[in-house]
């Protein structure tokens, strides 16, 4: 018997053959390996302006963000960024160069941003279910808005700082602490 308040993988144990603690469920023995999750998105540009979405969901409801979200099985980074732009802004994008890889280690996320353009020269955008509003902004306007997450600001400023045309190396940033491991004696 378990309480409603204490279910699922919740015991910290080092599984056999492993060398660090994982969360294990005492009822079903499931090991919840926690690896970083990828959040994929882009900086969509049309006539020098950038598409932003105002979040309809927590965290950071009401704040502005670039279209981005958790990568799903079966897609590449670029395909995930395309899907998210359609879900959040009904935007049909073409992915360009990879701008940045931001390791947000305190929440176990990798935020990966591309440059993107629109399939149509007269793009149609509209709020998806996770957005209150969507719109195009100059970069000056965008950087003055209440942006949802630090990586949104980095993607915008790294886009501006990188050459207009590639190839270039993506910017790699760490946004949280390293979790030092305790190595087992070999």
Beta strands in the chain (DSSP E): 11-13, 22-24, 31-32, 37-46, 49-55, 64-65, 68-70, 93-104, 109-118, 131-137, 171-174
Q: Shortest CA distance to 94 belongs to which of 142, 49, 43, 136?
A: 43
In the complex with a copy of itself, the residue whose CB is nearer, 25 or 145, is: 25
Taking contact as CB under 8 A, which single stretch among the options 117-125, 137-145, 150-158, 162-170 is the one that binds a copy of itself? 162-170
Could you tell me if 84 and 40 are in contact, meaning their C-beta atoms sit under 8 angstroms apart? Answer: yes
Q: Are 124 and 90 in contact (CB under 8 A)?
A: yes
| One character per residue 118-157, x = contact with a copy of itself (rule: CB under 8 A) | ----------xx----------------------------
30-33 contact pairs (CB < 8 A, 24+): 32/8
Q: Give the span between the Cα atoms of 110 and 101, in whole angstroms.
A: 7
Encoded one letter per residue, x for contact with a copy of itself by CB under 8 A and - for no contact, window 5-34 reads --xxx----------x----x-xxxx-xxx
- Single out the residue of 15, 62, 150, 166 in contact with a copy of itself (rule: CB under 8 A): 166
The answer to whether 161 contacts a copy of itself (rule: CB under 8 A) is no
CB 177, min distance to a copy of itself, A: 7
Q: Which of residues 29-88 bind a copy of itself (CB under 8 A)?
A: 29-30, 32-38, 70-79
First to last CA, the chain: 39
Q: Rounded to the nearest whole angstrom, what is the least distance from the CB of residue 156 to a copy of itself in the complex?
A: 20
Helices (H), 31-145: 77-89, 139-144
Interface pick for a copy of itself out of 97, 117, 139, 153 (rule CB under 8 A): 97
Q: What is the DSSP letter of 147?
A: B
Binding site for a copy of itself (CB under 8 A): 2, 7-9, 20, 25, 27-30, 32-38, 70-79, 97-98, 101, 103, 105, 108, 110, 128-129, 166-170, 172, 174, 176-181, 186
């Amino acid at each position: 018997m378990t309480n409603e308040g204490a279910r699922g993988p919740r015991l910290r144990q080092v599984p056999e053959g492993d060398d660090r603690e994982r969360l294990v469920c005492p009822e079903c023995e499931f090991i919840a390996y926690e690896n970083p999750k990828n959040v994929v998105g882009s900086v969509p540009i049309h006539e020098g302006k950038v598409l932003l979405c105002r979040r309809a969901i927590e965290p950071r409801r009401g704040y502005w963000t670039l279209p981005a979200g958790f990568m799903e099985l079966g897609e590449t980074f670029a395909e995930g960024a395309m899907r998210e732009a359609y879900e959040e802004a009904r935007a049909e994008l073409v992915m360009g160069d990879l701008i940045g890889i931001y390791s947000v280690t305190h929440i176990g996320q990798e935020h990966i941003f591309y440059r993107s353009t629109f399939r149509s020269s007269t793009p149609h955008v509209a709020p998806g279910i996770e957005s209150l509003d969507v719109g195009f902004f100059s970069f000056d306007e965008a950087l003055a808005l209440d942006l949802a997450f630090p990586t949104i600001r980095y993607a915008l400023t790294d886009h501006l700082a990188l050459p207009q045309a590639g190839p270039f190396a993506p910017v790699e940033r760490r946004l949280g602490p390293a979790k030092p491991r305790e190595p087992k004696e070999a």
